[in-house]
Chain A
Amino acid sequence: MSNELSKGALISRGILSQNPVFKLALSMCPAVGMSTTVMNGLMLGVAVLFVQIFSSLTISLFKNWIHPRIRIPTYTLTIATWVTVIDLVLAAVFPGAYAQMGIFIKLIVAFAIITMRLETFACKESPSDSFFDAVGMGLGFMVGMVAIGFVRELLGSGTVFGYDLLGFKPFLFFILPCAGFFVVGLMMAFFNWIEARYRERMAQKS
């Protein structure tokens, strides 16, 4: 049952080789719907990181008492509890940002990435390994959201974090809601292309 990967490898795996947004293609709803600005992406990323860490820890601690037949309802209820916590905290501490994110905070409960990590990792591994895996996956999600938000905000309205960088708007289309699909599709294709080039170069060297 022990996991042979080191702590650092667990974290970097979530950010790079198994990035939940670009590689596993899970939790795409926020990546399309909530990524118009860097700030939105960052806030949702922090919320997901929080929920992922605490849900993974909870399930990992109680894994021996959960009957396999009812594991899915147990996972969803655990996630729902932590989502309610972050929902109430954000509503109290950051009312402005909370109003902007609207229903998406509550919808974290149905994000496939969290359930998937509980199902494939936290229910088998030790709490400490689950913690680092959750940190990696949460950070990976955050990086993905911020990257998409950065591209959309920079190219759509010429700003980053609300600061005007370019002074003009290269592609106004990019901040329109439905452009999220195009941006995510193009970025995925771009990363695929880079990976293919990298592999080619490695093959040539060897």
Chain B
Amino acid sequence: MSKKTRDILIVLGAAVVIFGVTALIMLFGGGNSDGFVTSQTFGQTNEIVLTTAQPVKDVPSAEAFTVFEENDPDIQMHPASVSADGKALKLTFAEPLNQDNPHMVKAPELVPGVGPLSVEVSRSYWGYLLSILISALLINNYVFTKYLGLCVFMGTSKRKSTATGMGIVFMIVMLVSAVMSWLVNRYVLVPYHLDFLQVVVFIGLVSLTVQAVDTILRKINPILFNAFGVFLVLVIANCIIIAVPLYMASNQYNLIETVMLALGAGGGFLLALYLMSSVRERLELAQIPESFKGLPIAFIVAGQFALAFLGFSGLQIH
């Protein structure tokens, strides 16, 4: 038990380090500035905030500003209203912006003597990576909001020790197989137009990874194999393991984004298993109606978790 607790602490520690580093980079790594406009960020879902070197006294009309997505310059938008608050110039739009794409802002003359300017607004890349991680971990948690991996989830969440063992093994296999799937997809499937083989190749890679880990672990570390070996076969029967590579391929993620997605999905599964097993251990002591014993009550508890995870859907990372 203490060994497994230590493993969880290591995983949690690594997660905290990743969070800390990304948060620091997000704080200090702003976008590039362009003369009079010193920084530019997305505000709320429908806002762009420009910080200027001096306060803007006479705010130009909203029609004077033109905004478009960088890869789609033909679709031009105008903000619904523009307001200045000290050095901050806030452009508010009628509809939410797709903040994953960089936007170009063309501004008219803001103060006398400074000509019209154009600035690029993009979410910082680390923020984007963090948003992939958080999204897979909480907002789109694969178990509670996408309803995947339920068989293994229900099967291994009876004891906390089993649950964390399964979660950790799953996270490792997930990471390895997602990276391999990315490599094969990027350098073999896409160049040769073999997209229709995705399912066969991805599941093949997963089962090969599992088989390899199984064989290597059995020879090198029999103690670890005795602790975690039983979970390895179950990994293949988990829909998440194939859903992540498919999601990665359809979103054309690069390698770092794929790693983040895999970490988020694996961590989300571990989190879900841990939460669920904590409740199920308590349930054994509770008085449950005879017909609800076992799986039915587990499903209802999972439903309540799913309702709770709906609360994360409003979470947004800027």
Contact = CB atoms under 8 A, between A and B. Distances in A.
Given A29-B239, A189-B296, 16 more contacts: A25-B154, A29-B147, A73-B204, A73-B207, A77-B207, A80-B203, A81-B200, A84-B199, A109-B203, A178-B144, A181-B300, A185-B295, A185-B297, A185-B298, A185-B299, A188-B299
A181 B303 contact: yes
Interface string B284-304: 000001111101111110110
Interface in B274-318: 289-293, 295-300, 302-303, 306-307, 310
B272 interface: no
B83 interface: no
B266 to A, nearest CB: 15
Contacts of A80: 199-200, 203-204
A88 B199 CA distance: 11
Interface string B95-115: 000000000000000000000
Nearest to B302: A181
B204 A109 contact: no
A196 B290 CA distance: 9
Name which of A25, A107, A178 has the most chain B CB atoms within 10 A of its CB.
A178
A185 B197 CA distance: 36
A76 interface: yes
Contact of A103 (B236, B237, B246): B246
A198 interface: no
Contacts, number: 130
Interface stretch (A6-14, A110-118, A139-147, A157-165): A110-118
A193 interface: yes
B211 A73 contact: yes
Interface of A: 25-29, 32-33, 70, 72-73, 76-77, 79-81, 83-84, 87-88, 103, 106-107, 109-112, 115-116, 177-182, 184-186, 188-190, 192-193, 196
B203 A180 contact: no
Interface of B: 144-152, 154, 196-200, 203-204, 206-208, 210-211, 233, 236-239, 241-243, 246-247, 289-293, 295-300, 302-303, 306-307, 310
B206 to A, nearest CB: 8
A76 B198 CA distance: 13
A188 B300 CA distance: 11
A66 to B, nearest CB: 13
Contacts of A26: 151
A182 B203 contact: no
Nearest to B240: A110
9 contacts: A29-B149, A32-B150, A76-B207, A80-B204, A107-B243, A178-B303, A186-B296, A189-B297, A193-B290
B91 to A, nearest CB: 35
B186 to A, nearest CB: 19
Contacts of A188: 295-296, 299
Given A26-B151, A185-B299, A190 B291 contact: yes
Given A29-B239, A192-B291, A179 B151 contact: no
A73 B209 CA distance: 10
A107 B239 CA distance: 6
Nearest to B198: A106
A177 B147 contact: yes
Contact of A29 (B148, B291, B295): B148
In the A-B complex, the 8 residue pairs with the smallest Cβ-Cβ separation, listed nearest first, are: A181-B303, A185-B299, A33-B147, A178-B306, A189-B296, A193-B291, A28-B150, A73-B207
Nearest to B144: A178
